[in-house]
Amino acid sequence: MTTLVVIPARGGSKGIPRKNLLPVGGKPLIVWTIEQALALDDVIVAVSTEDAEISAVARNAGAWVIRRPEALAQDETPTEPVVVHAIATCEAQYGRPERVMLLQATSPVRLEGTLQRAVEEFDASGVDSLVGVVPNPPFLWSQDDDGVVSAHWDWEHRLRRQDMTAGQLRYRETGSMYVTKPEIYETLGNRMGGRIGLFVMAEAEGVDIDTLHDVSLAEALLTR
């Protein structure tokens, strides 16, 4: 069963210029994700980009490059149409994939075996879409005109985190990884839909690069 991995990599970046090519731990940022994806069984690793330099780096790292139309390379372009375009391009050239894994290059910290485990869990669970998450304790508060409110937890009977059950924890979407049936993208225009499952990742895998501080943290974790 073929997995199409789609790694969106637009040339423009508002926060950190040319972020996808930023040197991190001795290699361009996007290469970490490409190499992790290539370790999967029966996989097509596609980098979708409009940028010539990103294309060259991706090809050199072993990825198949999908030339993204300019209409899908704008600041306001959402990710889902990019993935739909990649699915159609893959189907025309290689055949229809059984599942689509969306990986964000800006979340490069993934432990060895994580992506293969996600594919296996997706297949075994029978879900239509699987979203990567990291566990969080539910110690969240909100504030309105009437004061403060604890969200999802009983502050009068605080539990230690290590004593919490899976049902008492909350989970934060990392943005790092999604596995989805292609028809969910095609019919709903969304990376999630149908029966949704949670794929619990290690806390270190929840790093998302938005600032130079995030770069330093990711580099430390990747080269450890």
- pLDDT tens-digit profile, the chain (224 residues): 799 999 999 987 766 778 899 999 899 999 999 999 999 999 999 999 999 999 999 999 999 999 999 999 888 899 999 999 999 999 999 999 999 999 999 999 999 999 999 999 999 999 999 999 998 777 777 787 777 766 666 666 666 666 666 666 788 899 999 999 999 999 999 999 999 999 999 988 988 888 888 888 888 888 87
Paired tokens of 184: 């969910």
Beta strand 43-49 with 64-67: parallel, antiparallel or unpaired?
Answer: parallel
How many whole angstroms separate alpha carbon 72 and alpha carbon 86?
Answer: 11
The pLDDT of residue 154 is 65
How many whole angstroms separate alpha carbon 196 and alpha carbon 210?
Answer: 27
Strand order through the sheet with 196-200: 64-67, 43-49, 3-8, 99-103, 170-180, 129-136, 196-200
Q: Report yes or no: 169 and 203 within 8 Å, Cβ to Cβ.
A: no
The pLDDT of residue 106 is 92
